[in-house]
Every structure is written in C-alpha cells, then in structure tokens.
Amino acid sequence: MARPAAPDTAAFARAFTARHADAIDSKWIDQQFAQFARLAPQLTGSGRSVFDVCSPSGPSGPFLGSGAMAYRFTCQRTDTRYYAFGGPSAGRVRQLEQVLSRLGWGMFTSGTPAGTPITLPVVDASPVTTSSGPMTGKTELKFSWAERGIQLNLAIDVGAVPPALASQGNTYIVAVQRPSLKGILSHLTAERPHLLIVSLTVIYAQRLPSQ
C-alpha cells in the first residue's frame, strides 16, 4: 500500500475557515479575560502568553486512505494571563471560583496533573452554560498559583509555551507570545506577593480524516 502523502498543515491553518474561527474565538477569549478582570479588581495584571498551533495526527491504520485527506488536523489557541494578588491563597482561590462561576464555568477539579513536571497546584474548569463556551470550538480553563515568585517555572507551569518558536515537521505555528518572567515578577510587591495563572485553551478548527 502506498504511503499517505505528507499532511499540508500550513494550508489547513491558513484557510479562511480556520482563520475566521481563530479570530472569533480570540475575541471571545479577550472578552472572557476582560469580564474576569472587571469582576476581580483585587488582581493586578502581570503578563500574558499565547500559543496558537495547528498539527496533524494519523494515519494510524490501513483504512484511512493514501492521500493527505487521511490525516486529522487540529488547531488550538492557548491564551494565559498572569496576575499578582495578596491575602491568603485559599481565600483568593475560593473568590476566583466564585468569579468564574459567574462567567459560566464550573465542575472545578484540583490536583497536579500526573506524569507532568508541574509542581504548582492546578484547578481545571469546564463551561457549564452555553454562554460560557466560545462560538466555534471546544474549550477548557485551567488556573494555578504560586505563593512566591521563586516558585515560578514558566517553561513547565500552566500556559507554558514550548521552546521551539518556528514550525517543525508538520506542525504549523500560527502565533507565539512568550511570557516575560522579569515583567511578571516586577508586579509582585509586599502587598501582592503571590501569582495567579489563568489559562484558556480553545480548539477552534478540526478536520477529521477524509472530510
């Protein structure tokens, strides 16, 4: 059987459908963070990271065809915001969950993901109302926090951006914005010595094999 043609991830990522969906969901993400900031004025914005990437997967079996259409394509955007805060972390986490609940998020589950190098606590949330999800894709929210700036490791914490900037292999990088550790730490003060990390990921475009 002939080997499938290499997937043209760049063509899928640059197509109008993917670009339009990305623009819509990027606007929705910005609106979510704007509402979050309005409802949590005690937090001080300290930085941001963005990682927008499209990648193929497959083929994994003999019945997926022999052309480029045998591959699944997935494009997702992760937008992460960093905030300085003061007061006991436990109290702030409860306040944060209350704020997120007002934005339509719920089903909070906590725990450091197994099999990952992450050492900070992580809480996952899911949209529980139709208004809390984006217009065109699937989404997830994670948040984490550090008691002190010295605990931060932006290379592995929630919202980490992979070290490779350029597209590699069949992966196509749409957008990258790295967080500045120096900039984030500059917002930590004696009154606000802790850091909150809130990360939104949206899968804004997908194509299944043979679609």
Q: Positive or negative CA dihedral for 2, 172, 159, 153?
A: positive
% of the chain exceeding 70 in pLDDT: 82
Cα separation, 142 vs 44, in Å, equals: 18
Cα separation, 57 vs 171, in Å, equals: 10
Question: Would you state the pLDDT for residue 24?
Answer: 92
Half-sphere exposure of 158 (CA within 13 A, CB side): 26
Q: Give the tens place of pLDDT for each residue, 33-60.
A: 999 999 999 999 999 999 999 998 865 4
Question: Would you state the pLDDT for residue 59?
Answer: 57
Question: Would you state the pLDDT for residue 92?
Answer: 84
Tokens at 46, concatenated: 């300290």
- Strand ranges of the sheet holding 138-146, from the earlier edge strand across to the other edge: 105-110, 122-127, 138-146, 194-207, 72-85, 44-57, 172-177
> Around Cβ 198, how many Cβ atoms within 10 Å?
25
Buried b (16+ CB within 10 A) or exposed e, 147-172: eebeebebeebbbbbeeeeebeebbb
Domain spans of the chain, in order of start: 9-207
Low-confidence residues of the chain: pLDDT under 50 = 1, 60-66
Coil, strand or helix: which one is 181?
Answer: helix
Question: Would you state the pLDDT for residue 23?
Answer: 94
Max CA separation in the chain (angstroms): 66
Half-sphere exposure of 11 (CA within 13 A, CB side): 6
24 to 29, 83, 196, 209: CA distances (angstroms): 9, 25, 26, 25
Q: pTM above the 0.75 mark?
A: yes
Tokens at 98, concatenated: 């209350």
